[in-house]
Amino acid sequence: MNGFAFAYDILAKIYKEDAFSSIELNKRVVGASNQAVVTRLVYGVLQKDTELEYYISKFTQKRPNKSVAVLLKEAMYCLLYMDSFPDYAVVDESVELCRKIGKRQLKGFVNGVLKNFIVAGKKAELPKDKDERLSVTASVPLWLVRAYIRQYGFDKTQEFLSVEEFTKEHIRNNSRVWTTAQLKSALDEKNISYAQSSAGGFFVDNSTYIKELSAQGKITYQSMTSMLAVQALEVKDGEKLLDLCAAPGGKSIYASELADIEITSCDIYEHRLELIKAYVERMKAKSVNVMLNDATQYNDAFYCSFDKVLCDVPCSGLGVAGKKPDIYLRSSMQKVLELSEVQYKILSNASKYVKPQGRLVYSTCTTLREENYNVVGKFVKDNQSWRVLRHENFLPDGKGCDGFFIAVLERK
């Protein structure tokens, strides 16, 4: 079966060695003849991980070791969602792969589990508890489903966890070299359909032409919510902006196009600073100074030096798990709470860098209040010289909006 064994190798790296799906796919699959199939298998299994875990628990008396569990997940995904793979071929390929990965003694086990799964109509009775049932049907970890229900209520949680996957890319023109009208004209000329977003960018199907425009620096890929976070700064000519957690640099570069400002873009790692520099060069950006800085450590040189500060803080990324499904594999409430402490520290440091009556924008790409409302709420409670001008929580809508949070704060 085309790509089955190849996809298994990548999935095993992700599940067993904590590799990142995007990195593994880019490193091993790009340009391969079976790239599309392998990519679909890898992302498909990750997106349906919770559902597939449930089926394994229902069709085995004892959970198999990790290698065989990964194999069963891939096989069950094929049986459920890959009509181009005949059932018998999936079973035969899985049994043969079981031998190749050194689990010859479990060939009969794998064969029996998959055949029982097929006989049962590729389904199992869903949990009676509605929280658990939603966890399976939406394929989202139960701890997270329950956290969402506490925050949003069951109906709202079910609504945004059940939206269809959105596959279009969000792009914007580089206003230094190309106007919005020129981008529209170019898309029309190539018969590429597009829809304009509320941020002013465009949703398009990715293609060779779009990639070429990006390589030429005429456009860039940037999410709608990322653009909105920058717009919330309301930068003005002559101002100084600090982007504390800037890599790979998209927000800094966009801000540099909105006004004639001086920007300091920081990150904690040297290799991530190189990403910002490359972005600056590709987009022909000006007045972007790249600097190594640990946002969790107070920097006295920044004290009261900036009119605007952007804190797009490290977060769990749960708002974009639809695009990066291995996020669920690495998430837990304990990790979320640990992140919230880091976020509070960064926000507290950032506030000291803002001039009186200056503006600070705090943003995340997560949907949990523990990283959003709670962090900002604690900060303004502890710092009476600050107030929240506005805040907005975005939920995935299946139409191009990611899960995102933006809070605009002002120093009195």
Domain ranges in the chain are 4-119, 130-161, 222-411
Cα distance between residue 305 and residue 289, in whole Å: 14
- Name the one residue in this structure whose structure tokens are 């570069």: 253
Q: Classify residue 186 by burial, with Cβ atoms within 10 Å: 0-12, 13-18, 19+.
A: middle
Cα distance between residue 108 and residue 114, in whole Å: 10
Neighbours of 211 (CB within 10 A): 13
Superfamily for the 222-411 domain: Vaccinia Virus protein VP39 (3.40.50.150)
Query: Which amino acids are annotated catalytic?
Result: 365
Q: What separation in angstroms does the CA of 249 have from each of 162, 370, 383?
A: 32, 26, 29
Cα distance between residue 388 and residue 347, in whole Å: 13
Q: Classify residue 320 by burial, with Cβ atoms within 10 Å: 0-12, 13-18, 19+.
A: buried
Residues 295-322: tens digit of each pLDDT: 999 999 999 999 999 999 999 999 999 8
CB 46 within 8 A of CB 20: no
- Is 31's pLDDT higher than 80? no
Q: What separation in angstroms does the CA of 343 have from each of 214, 277, 314, 316?
A: 32, 25, 7, 11
Per-residue pLDDT, 407: 98
- Is 1's pLDDT higher than 90? no
Residues 128-161: tens digit of each pLDDT: 999 999 999 999 999 999 999 999 999 999 999 9
CATH topology (fold) of 4-119: N-utilizing Substance Protein B Homolog; Chain A (1.10.940)
Per-residue pLDDT, 35: 87
Distance of CA 63 to the CA centre of its chain: 30
Cα distance between residue 322 and residue 303, in whole Å: 39
Structure tokens at 148: 């969402």
| Confidence class for position 266, pLDDT limits 50, 70, 90 | very high
Cα distance between residue 60 and residue 64, in whole Å: 8
The more confident residue out of 25 and 390 is 390
Residues 195-247: tens digit of each pLDDT: 999 999 999 999 999 999 999 999 999 999 999 999 999 999 999 999 999 99
Structure tokens at 280: 């600056």
pTM over 0.85: yes
Whether the upstream peptide bond of residue 248 has omega within 30° of 0, thus cis, is yes
